[in-house]
């Protein structure tokens, strides 16, 4: 596949917050192909929820440039910025539609791999986020979103 990119999160989480956010480029759309949250180093069990949601106002994040999955592809049009593509929200912005809302245990992790019929498409200039939905005991986790730009 061409035009497929990855954004990643790694860090300690204790509160409900946006881990990853992608702001789609102005002249393209995007499909979310995969999302995950995994345990990096904890051995304590704790339940939480994970959400994939649209944002109507961007979270304030640490800018992140999406990584290419195929060497030689063009750079992503979903560029990094504090109100664009990035990780680790310090301010949540405004949440819109929650498209996926599932429980998980931090020891087990969580994976979302849609069938073709359940792909989430985001329109041009739209915002899509991966968020821990409820407070948790301090957990060191990793998260990832893999997306395809269309157009």
d(CA 136, CA 108) in angstroms, rounded, equals 14
Domain total for the chain?
1
CATH number at residue 143: 2.60.120
Q: What average pLDDT does the segment 110-120 reach?
A: 95
Reported pTM: 0.94
User: C-alpha angle with apex 109: 57 to 9, nearest 5 degrees?
Assistant: 45
Question: Would the pLDDT of 141 be above 80?
Answer: yes
pLDDT 10s digits, 47-95 = 899 999 999 999 999 999 999 999 888 999 999 999 999 999 999 999 9
pLDDT at 138: 82
């Amino acid at each position: 596949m061409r035009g497929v990119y990855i954004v990643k999160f790694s860090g300690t989480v204790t509160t409900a917050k946006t881990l990853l956010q992608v702001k789609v480029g102005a002249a393209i759309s995007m499909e979310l192909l995969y999302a995950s949250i995994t345990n990096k180093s904890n051995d304590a069990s704790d339940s939480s929820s994970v959400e994939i949601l649209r944002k109507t106002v961007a979270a304030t994040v640490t800018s992140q440039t999406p990584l290419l999955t195929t060497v030689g592809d063009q750079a992503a049009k979903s560029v990094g910025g504090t109100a664009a593509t990035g990780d680790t929200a310090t301010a949540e912005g405004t949440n819109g539609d929650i498209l996926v809302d599932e429980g998980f245990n931090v020891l087990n992790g969580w994976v979302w791999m849609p069938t073709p019929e359940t792909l989430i498409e985001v329109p041009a200039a739209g915002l899509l986020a991966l968020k821990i939905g409820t407070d948790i005991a301090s957990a060191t986790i990793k998260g990832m979103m893999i997306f395809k730009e269309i157009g």
